[in-house]
């Protein structure tokens, strides 16, 4: 706000805008900006709510094993319905702060659904160990999808992307013998899909969707490389990094630039160590990594100018 005031004053002195315009802009910006006191109240509200949930959780955990399955189901079910109902109510509020609360409540509701089906499948229906994961992840994914369709906020897309990973991996876990070592590759593919869907404005909010996709792209190849004990997943990660960097320029999307840079910084040293640790030794491999990372940093700095523009 101080910057705005200074700028307005400079523009007024330069006769770019009139004093009336200065007043009008100041009034408009003040009205549009949330009051600091209301923001503090909101933060305190979340903090208090989180503490209350933790306290409730500790209280329930103490007696949890003494409860019958039906009582556990009833408890989680009532809480989940309460989260859903309160979220639906908060979503229609005029206050932006209360609408943000809706997102949080529905995020908790998704966790509640997962817990409810977990207890149902293991405690009541005695589902086989292999099928339990699907019993939990399929309904959780369905609910996360519906809630995201109704409210396209950060926490809803996070729940949806998380549930997508869970449902795909638990479906793959049904294959015997389970290809656990390849799970990283599947995580990478879901990450690519997230980025593509964010680019296509299908998955919203876009920034969060890009971020979630990039996180999976960074994690997946590392996991696959460790699981399979092979270097090709790291090459895949580096190729993806290059694609993200190129896309960041053409789309002028800073999140992709950050993701691509992160991928370079993660995969390049791993590749150098994979190939040169034994032949050149750790110090030389480390030095080589440093030199290449400096080169990458310079390139990325140049790309940043391309992305953000003059």
Residues contributing to the site for another protein (CB under 8 A): 168, 172, 175-177, 179-182, 185-186, 188-190, 192-193, 196-197, 199-202, 227-229
Among 143, 250, 162, 282, smallest CA distance to 211 is for 162
3-state secondary structure of 238: helix
Alpha helices in the chain (DSSP H): 2-13, 19-32, 36-64, 69-91, 96-119, 129-150, 154-172, 183-199, 206-228, 232-251, 254-280, 282-308
Structure tokens at 95: 């206050």
Instruction: Give me the least distance between CB of 224 and another protein, in Å please.
Output: 10
Instruction: Give me the least distance between CB of 165 and another protein, in Å please.
Output: 11
Instruction: Give me the least distance between CB of 171 and another protein, in Å please.
Output: 9
Task: Select 92 or 201, whichever has its Cβ closest to another protein.
Answer: 201
Instruction: Give me the least distance between CB of 228 and another protein, in Å please.
Output: 8
Structure tokens at 4: 């705005």
Interhelix angle 154-172/96-119, nearest 10 degrees: 20
Instruction: Give me the least distance between CB of 129 and another protein, in Å please.
Output: 8
Helix (H) or strand (E) holding 1: none
Task: Select 62 or 229, whichever has its Cβ closest to another protein.
Answer: 229
Task: Select 189 or 274, whichever has its Cβ closest to another protein.
Answer: 189
Residue 240 φ then ψ, to 5°: -65, -40
Instruction: Give me the least distance between CB of 235 and another protein, in Å please.
Output: 15
Interhelix angle 206-228/254-280, nearest 10 degrees: 20
Task: Select 171 or 293, whichever has its Cβ closest to another protein.
Answer: 171
Task: Select 182 or 265, whichever has its Cβ closest to another protein.
Answer: 182
Task: Select 197 or 272, whichever has its Cβ closest to another protein.
Answer: 197
- How wide is the angle at C-alpha 16 spanned by C-alphas 13 and 20, nearest 5°? 80
Instruction: Give me the least distance between CB of 46 and another protein, in Å please.
Output: 33
Report the alpha-carbon distance of residue 136 to residue 125 in Å, rounded. Answer: 13
Q: How far, in Å, are 57, 104, 126 from residue 87 at the CA level?
A: 20, 8, 32
Task: Select 94 or 176, whichever has its Cβ closest to another protein.
Answer: 176
Task: Select 80 or 170, whichever has its Cβ closest to another protein.
Answer: 170
User: Using alpha carbons only, how large is the chain's radius of gyration in Å?
Assistant: 25
Instruction: Give me the least distance between CB of 196 and another protein, in Å please.
Output: 5
Q: How far, in Å, are 134, 191, 248, 267 from residue 237 at the CA level?
A: 29, 11, 16, 6
């Amino acid at each position: 706000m101080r910057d705005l005031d200074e700028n307005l004053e400079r523009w007024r002195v330069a006769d770019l805008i009139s004093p009336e315009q200065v007043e009008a802009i100041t009034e408009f910006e003040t009205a549009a900006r949330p009051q600091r006191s209301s923001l503090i109240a909101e933060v305190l509200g979340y903090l208090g709510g989180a503490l209350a949930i933790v306290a409730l959780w500790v209280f329930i955990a103490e007696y949890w094993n003494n409860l019958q399955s039906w009582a556990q189901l009833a408890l989680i079910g009532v809480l989940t319905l309460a989260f859903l109902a309160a979220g639906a109510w908060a979503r229609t509020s005029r206050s932006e702060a209360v609408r943000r609360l809706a997102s949080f409540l529905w995020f908790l509701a998704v966790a509640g659904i997962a817990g409810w089906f977990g207890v149902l499948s293991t405690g009541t229906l005695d589902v086989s160990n292999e099928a339990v994961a699907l019993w939990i992840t399929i309904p959780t994914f369905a609910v996360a999808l519906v809630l995201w369709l109704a409210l396209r906020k950060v926490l809803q897309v996070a729940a949806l992307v998380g549930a997508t990973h869970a449902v795909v991996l638990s479906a793959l876990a049904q294959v015997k013998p389970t290809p656990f070592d390849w799970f990283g590759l599947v995580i990478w593919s879901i990450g690519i899909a997230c980025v593509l869907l964010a680019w296509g404005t299908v998955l919203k909010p876009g920034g969060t969707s890009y971020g979630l996709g990039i996180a999976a792209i960074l994690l997946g190849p590392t996991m696959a490389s460790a699981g399979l004990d092979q270097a090709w997943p790291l090459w895949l990660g580096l190729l993806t990094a290059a694609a993200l960097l190129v896309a960041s320029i053409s789309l002028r999307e800073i999140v992709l630039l950050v993701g691509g840079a992160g991928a370079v910084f993660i995969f390049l040293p791993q590749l150098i160590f994979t190939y040169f640790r034994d032949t050149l030794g750790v110090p030389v491999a480390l030095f080589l990594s440093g030199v290449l990372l400096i080169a990458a940093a310079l390139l990325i700095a140049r790309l940043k100018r391309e992305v953000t523009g003059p």
